[in-house]
Structure 1
Amino acid sequence: MSASSVETVNVTADRIKVALAALLVGAGIVGFYVLPEQQVAARVGAVLAGLVLGVIVFFLSASGKQLWAFGQDAIREAQRVVWPTRKETLQMTGIVFVFVVVMAIFLWTTDKTLEWVLYDLILGWKK
């Protein structure tokens, strides 16, 4: 078998696993509605069983393995982040708050100035 035919078989098998995972989740949801006479616990159990089996089959596929690796990399990257201290966080929050207040005053002043120039001086609509 050539390398391309092996790769095609792997891609096809992966697609089948993902489709099977989706079918299992769907079967659990359908089971919830097909069993209206059953107790709620049995109906919820059908949904949970379909969901758990679907997730297991998905994580056995290449896409699931890639997602798992991505999640592990994201966790490792988050552990390397240098988070700010409480003091730094409060200082930055204060700076942002002061900036917002200054911008609000500036925009209000600009608005009132333009209103005065347009309505009172140019158009003569004095209040």
Structure 2
Amino acid sequence: MVDKLKLVLAALLVAAGVAGFYLLSEQALVVRILSVLAGLAAGGFVAYLTDSGRNFAAFAGEAVTEAKKVVWPSRKETLQTTGIVFAFVVVMALILWAFDSLSGWVVYDLILGWK
């Protein structure tokens, strides 16, 4: 129950930051943007204090750790793979065009007799 109240408070803080953006329309744009950022920061901090917030932060940390383990392809491998994909797309387009033309010829010329 307490976590739900904290999440509602976090949402209200974010909404207050956004509302501040519009209520401070006479102020400089920097002040208005800082209002939104302050609301997001305060809301994020309060949301972090919940169990689900801590779980999300742990998940995000683990995701970053896993992303660092990825072995990214070299430029040469990327270009080769992209070339293979483009060639496959062209071949499939030609095959589909041929099948479409053949099926149209069969239906309209042979079966229906339309020329």
- Normalised by the length of structure 1, the TM-score is 0.78
Alpha-carbon separation, structure 2, partners of 1:116 and 1:67: 58
The unaligned stretches of length 5 or more in structure 2 are none
Indicate the larger mover: 81-90 or 68-77. Answer: 81-90
Report what 2:97 is aligned to. 108
Indicate the larger mover: 98-107 or 58-67. Answer: 58-67
Alpha-carbon separation, structure 2, partners of 1:96 and 1:45: 45
Question: What pairs with 1:1-127 in structure 2 (closer than 5 Å)?
Answer: 12-126=1-115
Amino acid at match of 1:72: G
Alpha-carbon separation, structure 2, partners of 1:82 and 1:39: 45
Identity rate of aligned residues, in percent? 57
Distance 1:92 1:64, change over 3 A: same
Aligned positions, number: 115
Alpha-carbon separation, structure 2, partners of 1:102 and 1:116: 21
Distance 1:94 1:34, change over 3 A: closer
The unaligned stretches of length 5 or more in structure 1 are 1-11
Indicate the larger mover: 108-117 or 36-45. Answer: 36-45
How big is each residue's C-alpha offset from its partner over 1:42-92, in whole Å with a ceiling of 9 and x where there is no partner? 443333222221111111222211111111100111111222222222221
Residue 40 of structure 1, CA deviation: 4.1
Amino acid at match of 2:59: F
Residue 31 of structure 1, CA deviation: 2.8
